[in-house]
Amino acid sequence: MHANTFGTLKLATQTNYARCWDDHLQMAFYFINDVDLEASLLRRWVVTFGNDLRFAELVVSYLIRHQYGTEVGDAWTQKTHSLLNQHE
């Protein structure tokens, strides 16, 4: 799968069906090696991933490594905090 294809994944449905999806996504994302593409994907996903706390935690824990302190990194952090508060 080409890295640009990640932007079109329907994450809410894909994450329900794939075994070990989080490990696969983490590995694939690691090999992108393009900060602008990472930011683009994360920007799209923050508005399309739904309320999947597991996915949000994966992004904040592993995928926003180059985006801390940026608008997209802050958006993910805020979204994850909001989801955590809802699950208390």
* pLDDT > 70? residue 14: no
**Residue 10 vs residue 84, higher pLDDT:** 84
Q: How far apart are CA 60 and CA 21, in angstroms?
A: 16
* pTM of this structure: 0.72
Query: Average pLDDT for residues 11-38, to the nearest whole number?
Result: 76
Task: Give pLDDT tens digits for 39-68.
Answer: 999 999 999 988 888 889 889 988 888 888
Among candidate residues 11, 55, 3, the one with its CA nearest the CA of residue 31: 3
Task: Give pLDDT tens digits for 26-36.
Answer: 888 888 888 89
CA distances from 33 to 39, 55, 57 (A): 11, 21, 21
